[in-house]
Amino acid sequence: MREPDWQPETARDGTPMWGWLIIANVLCFILQYTVEGFDSNLALYPDLLKQGQVYQLLTFQFLHGDLFHIIINCLMIWMIGKPIEEALGKRRLLSLYLLSGVAGGLLQCGLAWTDINPTGGVVGASAGVFGLIAAFAVLQWNREMTILLMFIIPVRIRAKYLLIALAVIGLLGVLTQRQVIESPAALVAHGAHLGGLLGGVIFIFTFVQGGILAGAEPWWQRISERLNDRKVVTIDGAARAYPHRTSKRNARKVEFVEENIDSILDKISEKGIDSLTDKERAALDKAAKK
């Protein structure tokens, strides 16, 4: 992990971005059922998108099929959006949500155009929500989460395994769902979910951790550096990476520093450098020479 060059927004004034997203979804849901024809051209239709109505890639993300649909999506925006906004800031949360939704919409339409998953209109914030989940999983790879299986059974799972599980479910859904359904609320858009996941992962690797646009070196340089490295498994089972051409003697020097100096540095941090004994000072000098 590397710190990005940008800094997240620290201002706490006003409504958070995840709150604005929930408000926008609720308002659009109300308009769907109070204004006749409000959603007739705002849902995502693969045929209409092919004709140039690209705005549907954004508008479909704020429409929903029924009350349960919007409640679940808004709940997920609240749960996942809060830590994402704290980490990335308002603008990047909004960009992540919208771009993941666009990625999901494009994949869903692509599956329809190739006759893999023919579909009618597509609605829902799920693609953007899946992008938020993917981003959270990439940023908090090993963090444990509690999810409600079937909305009843609490299950502890690491974020990375949740991401993998959702990807597998989405892929299986795409492969097994081959039916034409005209009602937007009747079909689970597995392609949109899968595309949202991919969009979230790509967003993080591009704009945040390790991304070129976040100030990191190009990916081809990182690959080259890794190819020139090799890992050595030590007696205690820990894996340490040394340059490929580094001799065993140099490797032993690195191990000496790691094994003997860490505790001394901790002591300096806690009590100051004046607290070191003569033996510890000598060890520091020896490490500096190595």
Which domains, and CATH codes, for the chain? 17-217 (1.20.1540.10), 228-289 (no CATH)
Residue 1 confidence class, pLDDT cut points 50, 70, 90: very low
Higher pLDDT, residue 221 or 129? 129
Task: Give CA torsion, residues 3, 8, 10, 15, to 10 deg.
Answer: -150
Residue 235 confidence class, pLDDT cut points 50, 70, 90: very low
Long-range contacts of 26-35 (CB under 8 A, 24+ apart): 26/70, 26/74, 28/62, 28/63, 28/64, 29/63, 29/64, 29/70, 32/63, 32/64
Residue 183 confidence class, pLDDT cut points 50, 70, 90: very low
12-26, 141-155, 156-170, 204-218: segment of lowest average pLDDT: 204-218
* 6 has a pLDDT exceeding 60: no
Q: Can you give the pTM of this predicted structure?
A: 0.66
